[in-house]
Structure 1
């Protein structure tokens, strides 16, 4: 894996260098349009972005993926590589970064629209929303697994009332200030 890491453009790259390269190539507005991260929009600075990205792993991975696949235009991750973080991925020997992708607001809007279209198509082929294992788990256990293992589902009215407001139960505990 050490040899593969040496063929990853992120290997040994400091976050400051990564952000500087992206800003020099695209500018703050294009980065915000492409990534939708507020650190590129509200008073953007290299230092502010570094601070945010060091604290926020998902955002750092999003920027690193952008760097790999839009800026360096490396081949998309497949198989086992897809599950790895961007800095842990390796590329076959001989694969070198290409010229950065030219991005405009229009091309970014087209990419976002295509991604939304692909998401909808994938969602429609997998059946109605919530028709997977999650629905079976909630049905069988009486717990909503999206909220955590110990959180009971909200109880909804079933007496013909079409409103989706949860029914409320009042607590008889005098120490409970909310009465629930």
Structure 2
């Protein structure tokens, strides 16, 4: 069997980890400016944001795109 590695930069990374890393790096205030969604602006929390992002594909896609752009800064 061949060992193949995924070319997906998000392979193996949970949405919770993505969100926690972005909140640690930017904070909810800056996240709300970068991605204008209510769960980052009004009474933000990781739990409520995860609930919204798991239900809303377009918002999750924006968060994942920001994470990919931010990834080099996180390492």
Alignment RMSD: 1.3
Runs (5+) with no aligned partner, structure 1? 73-97, 101-180
Q: Considering only CA atoms, is the larger Rg found in Structure 1 or Structure 2?
A: 1
Q: Distance in 1 between matches of 2:73 and 2:62?
A: 20
CA-to-aligned-CA distance 1:50-88 (integer Å, 9 cap, x gap): 00000000100011011112x11xxxxxxxxxxxxxxxx
Match of 2:73 among 99, 105, 118: 99
Runs of 4+ in 1 over 2 A off after TM superposition: none
Q: Which residues in structure 2 correspond to 1:19-168 (within 5 Å)?
A: 19-69=19-69, 71-72=70-71, 98-100=72-74
TM-score, normalization: structure 1?
0.38
TM-score, normalization: structure 2?
0.86
Q: Distance in 2 between matches of 1:57 and 1:39?
A: 14
Q: Distance in 2 between matches of 1:31 and 1:57?
A: 17
Runs (5+) with no aligned partner, structure 2? none
Q: Which has the higher helix share?
A: 2
- How far is 1:99 from its partner? 2.0
Aligned length: 71
Q: Distance in 2 between matches of 1:10 and 1:49?
A: 18
